[in-house]
A and B are shown apart, each in its own frame.
Chain A
Amino acid sequence: MAKQVKFLQGNEAVCEGALYAGCRFYAGYPITPSTEVAEILAARLPKLGGRFIQMEDELAAMAATLGGSIAGKKSLTATSGPGMSLKMENLGYGYLTEIPCVIVNVMRGGPSTGLPTGPGQSDVMQARWGTHGDHPCIALTPSTVQEQLNETVRAFNLAEKYRMPVILLTDEIIGHMREAVEMPEPGDLTVIDRKRPTCDPKDYLPYKPEADGVAPMADFGSGYRYHITGLNHLPDGFPSNDGKLAQADEIRQQKKVDDHYDEIVVVDEMMCDDAEILIFAFGSTARSAKEAVQMARAEGIKVGLFRPLTIWPFPDKHLLKYKGKVKRVIVPEMNLGQTALEVERVLKGSPEVEGIFQIDSEPINPITILNKIKGGK
């Protein structure tokens, strides 16, 4: 049977993805351009036995999101840059205490309150380093409304599998545009649930990892009593000030992501095989780049698009294939060169990275990219 096709807004598709993944708890504080996520889930979750709560601010919303997850429900929160800034303290708590959840950041323009109704991509480094301390990070960057749905499901899967917060880093253009989405039936997409302990509750150690580096997580209230703290802690969850143990534990947490690069990092490489010029673009800017690549190819220019759906961990391994192979690399992004820095780090000057950086809260026009492609260095 043909799949059901719906005409959805990007933020609406995030909700569909979350519900498909089994999300049953949302805590948030509304902010443009993410508010539709809260609005829709406020209506949908209670009908599915889930809960929605609007908290007094984003700090509390992040705390409640973590709490929902500790209680055993897949939990979501959505916000934009200013709200993301406020969530950072509790997000860091979520990393150290290894609490799975998904945070959607629908990026808008500017620092501070900035340009509330326009798009931006300036939170790439915030996603990676916005909260203090070393910690692993997974952030996904969809480019279509269909991907808003599918990548939200994937974000939940990665959160559950690796027991950590995962960020869906999207933007106002993808969040607010509408296009046709093929609705997945149950079973079409993989849905992963966290490992739960099977041992006797008195033997349970909440931070004793299994072979994959991840410890089973018990639902609070299910009979497994354990301690959670933002202090570095021992396998039993109680604080320890032992620096050597803390170092080993944080390296173990980082390795949960590093050791599973192939499972986590997804990149769409379009027309890259014979490319002499590589465009590196993500999110809505990748759509502009795709249009520009088509235009340039029509003129016989050998250009390809490298589009990461996983921006963190950075797709080093995929990108390294082009080191010394392509003549030019162009990075268009709606910020002043955040991803370009990472591309430079990977390619180490072979070739030099050329940027198209724009922060006027307008999408980058494909013609701007085409002109850069044709203009030479």
Chain B
Amino acid sequence: MARHQIRLSGSGGQGMITAGIILAAGASVLEGKKAIQSQSYGPEARGGASKAEVIISDEEIYYPKVMAPDVLVALTQEAADKYSKDLVDGGILILDDLMVKTAPKGNWKVYMMPIIRTAAEKVGKAMVANVVTLGALNEICGFVKPETLEKAVLSRVPKGTEELNKNAINAGIELAKAAKAL
């Protein structure tokens, strides 16, 4: 497997950093790959552009930051505009159709999906939009085995929310399948 550089972005509080931790922990602890998660954020506790970065590789990773992402998830217009600039040619761009009104233009495979709406309406809690994102992202990119993702998610969520989170993963997978079929 080549080195994957993934950027998960949105607004502070949307859970993109948690999503990055879950993905990287799954890849490294559960599948033995090399993985690093890092983040950058402003002084605000909520709001403001927030991004998590994940690198997954078979080789040792030294520089922990993403130099040129091949996958970008953006759950806000600001994040889409700001972070799509260095997405590589042929890269994958995953956008939320509620928050991102104008998809940035570039030579990318773009998936415009109702991530937040699915979390709120279908799964029943807008809060799990980050887990819906993970389900969709992993279905499209295949970073880890589906069972690894489920295990990684369940090991990081509060007790009593297991079913909710499983539903969120599956809803994400369904979204991705539908988007891929287009």
Binding site for B on A (CB under 8 A): 5-7, 32, 116-118, 173, 176-180, 284, 287-288, 290-291, 294, 363, 365-367
B26 nearest in chain A by CB position: A7
Query: Interface residues of B: mostly helix, strand, loop or mixed?
Result: mixed
Q: Are B38 and A291 in contact (CB under 8 A)?
A: no
- Supply 27 A–B pairs (Cβ within 8 Å), ascending by A: A5-B28, A5-B29, A7-B28, A7-B29, A7-B37, A32-B43, A117-B41, A117-B42, A117-B43, A118-B40, A173-B38, A173-B64, A176-B39, A178-B21, A178-B24, A178-B37, A179-B35, A179-B37, A179-B64, A180-B29, A180-B34, A180-B35, A287-B63, A287-B64, A290-B63, A291-B62, A363-B65
> Please, which residues of chain B bring their CB within 8 A of the CB of A173?
38, 64-65
Q: Are A288 and B40 in contact (CB under 8 A)?
A: no
Distance (whole angstroms) from the CB of B3 to the closest CB of chain A: 11
Complex-state Cα separation, A294 to B3, whole angstroms: 15
Distance (whole angstroms) from the CB of A200 to the closest CB of chain B: 54
Complex-state Cα separation, A5 to B32, whole angstroms: 10
Complex-state Cα separation, A118 to B62, whole angstroms: 19
Q: Are A290 and B62 in contact (CB under 8 A)?
A: yes
> Please, which residues of chain A bring their CB within 8 A of the CB of B67?
365-367
> Please, which residues of chain A bring their CB within 8 A of the CB of B41?
117
Complex-state Cα separation, A237 to B40, whole angstroms: 49
B72 at the A interface (CB under 8 A): no
Q: Are B28 and A180 in contact (CB under 8 A)?
A: yes
B36 at the A interface (CB under 8 A): yes
Distance (whole angstroms) from the CB of A2 to the closest CB of chain B: 11
Distance (whole angstroms) from the CB of A145 to the closest CB of chain B: 9
Residue among B35, B39, B42, B65 having the largest count of chain A Cβ atoms under 10 Å: B65
Complex-state Cα separation, A176 to B38, whole angstroms: 7
Residues A117 and B36 in contact in the complex (CB < 8 Å), given A180-B29, A290-B62, A365-B67: no
Distance (whole angstroms) from the CB of A9 to the closest CB of chain B: 8
B73 at the A interface (CB under 8 A): no
> Please, which residues of chain A bring their CB within 8 A of the CB of B35?
7, 179-180
Q: Which of A116, A284, A294 interacts with B64 by CB under 8 Å?
A: A284
